[in-house]
Chains A and B, each alone.
Chain A
Amino acid sequence: MSWIENRLEEGLIVTSLDWAINWGRRYSIWPMTFGLACCAIEMMAIGASRFDVDRFGAGAFRASPRQADLMIVAGTVTYKMASRVKRLYNQMPEPKYVMAMGACTIGGGPYFKNGYHVVKGVDLVVPVDIYVPGCPPRPETLIEGIMRLQDMIKNQTLARDRWQGAKEKVIATTPSFV
């Protein structure tokens, strides 16, 4: 939708179009399979029949970042992994969202004080939209996080698209290594 984004004031046409596009976007969040540690087990659980995240339209786990909308960073991000996380984020098409799942991803977790190798929060590497606390979070918590993300997408508008305007800024605030 780049031909229309950021070109119009918030008028009637954009509002109605917003409603339709946001409706489509928020019920077809395709997450990327991105299990880094034990949190990934809970992430797998939401895809299975007991918790069944397909009910919320977020069950199509993609193996490629190029087909995904949501990166659930599930597990401990080490410095060695950080460059890969960044690269995968850059490979995702816009609109893209990042969910920091679990204590390690939010702020280093148990490795905050004594871990020499753990990134103290994945938001130092990629911009994060939703933080899901827990160690690991229960599947219900993760579904709650996806629903909060859906609320966020619901309030988006084409007139103020965060990727179009913020593109330069997002890249500049994240590390510029590989």
Chain B
Amino acid sequence: MAPEEIAELLRKEFGDGVADSKFDTAHPRIGVKPEAWPKIARFLRDDARLGFNFLRCVTALDLLEDDQLSATFDLHAVRLPAKEGADCELVHGLCVEVRTPRNDPRIPSVADVWRAADWHEREAYDLMGILFENHPDSVIGPKGRHPRRILCPDDWAGHPLRKDYMFPMEYHGIPAVTEMGQTRPVH
């Protein structure tokens, strides 16, 4: 199915849950509201017409101009080979974008729908600070429940890939920023 048809199908099923979509780009994507995302994710996987059984990638974006953070889910529908040794067949692909406000970025986790989302969501939390709610690998932090960090140390402050991130001045006694270094990333 083409992304336009899938968007039409989702709008018929979920109505307001579907946000603005973009189809005239190299990477056509369907916008989805955070509160509707777990239901839509389950529908995308389980509906016989769609059958998106493979989460390829989760990408987090910092949209500083719009004051939003976005998580982009790349989905593939893969048909398993009929006989052993044959290649998997790609039926169709889809990209879903979930946007959330920058000051309180919360998106429900879909790690129970696609297992691949587990580590991807942990990374998106670690580097971009998107709080995936009800993530299976969550810990209690000072600001409440959040997914466990995956790359940075557990006591790291901030989320390094955000555009307004400030580099640490020291970490456990090791000086970090020198007089020649930068205190923030350049984009």
Judge if B186 is at the interface, Cβ distance under 8 Å: yes
Question: A114-B185, A175-B173 known; A120 and B178 CB under 8 Å?
Answer: yes
Contact indicator B174/A112 (Cβ below 8 Å): no
- Identify which of B153, B168, B172 contacts A175 (C-beta below 8 A): B172
Scan residues 103-160 of chain A and give those whose CB is less than 8 A from a CB of chain B: 112-114, 116-117, 119-120, 124-125
Chain B: interface residue total (CB-CB under 8 A): 18
Chain B hits for A72, CB < 8 A: none
Contact indicator A117/B160 (Cβ below 8 Å): yes
CB distance from B179 to the nearest CB of A (A): 11
Chain-B contact segment, one of A25-33, A79-87, A89-97:
A79-87
Scan residues 130-187 of chain B and give those whose CB is less than 8 A from a CB of chain A: 152-153, 160, 165, 167-168, 171-176, 178, 180-182, 185-186
A80 CA to B174 CA in the complex, in Å?
Answer: 11
Across the interface, name the chain B residue whose C-beta is closest to A125: B174
Across the interface, name the chain A residue whose C-beta is closest to B182: A113
Judge if A49 is at the interface, Cβ distance under 8 Å: no
Contact indicator B172/A113 (Cβ below 8 Å): no
A60 CA to B153 CA in the complex, in Å?
Answer: 33
Q: Give the interface residue-count category, chain A.
A: 10 to 19
Chain B hits for A116, CB < 8 A: 160, 165, 167-168, 176, 185
CB distance from A84 to the nearest CB of B (A): 11
Chain B hits for A113, CB < 8 A: 180-182
- Identify which of B168, B174, B180 contacts A124 (C-beta below 8 A): B174
Chain A hits for B167, CB < 8 A: 116
CB distance from A145 to the nearest CB of B (A): 24
A89 CA to B92 CA in the complex, in Å?
Answer: 53
Judge if A177 is at the interface, Cβ distance under 8 Å: yes
Judge if A176 is at the interface, Cβ distance under 8 Å: yes
CB distance from B174 to the nearest CB of A (A): 5
- Identify which of A112, A117, A177 contacts B172 (C-beta below 8 A): A177
User: Of B175, B176, B185, which is in contact with the most chain A CB atoms at under 10 Å from its CB?
Assistant: B176
CB distance from B75 to the nearest CB of A (A): 31
A80 CA to B172 CA in the complex, in Å?
Answer: 10
Chain B hits for A112, CB < 8 A: 178, 180-181
CB distance from B164 to the nearest CB of A (A): 13
Contact indicator B186/A114 (Cβ below 8 Å): yes
A95 CA to B37 CA in the complex, in Å?
Answer: 60
Chain B hits for A175, CB < 8 A: 172-174
Smallest CB-CB A-B distances: 8 pairs: A175-B173, A177-B172, A79-B171, A80-B153, A116-B167, A116-B160, A124-B174, A113-B181
**A residues whose Cβ falls under 8 Å from a Cβ of B:** 79-80, 82-83, 112-114, 116-117, 119-120, 124-125, 175-177
Supplied contacts A79-B174, A82-B171, 17 more A-B pairs, CB within 8 Å = A80-B152, A82-B172, A83-B172, A112-B181, A113-B182, A114-B182, A116-B160, A116-B165, A116-B168, A117-B152, A117-B160, A125-B174, A175-B172, A175-B173, A175-B174, A176-B173, A177-B172
7 contacts between A and B (CB under 8 A): A82-B172, A83-B172, A112-B180, A112-B181, A117-B160, A125-B174, A175-B173
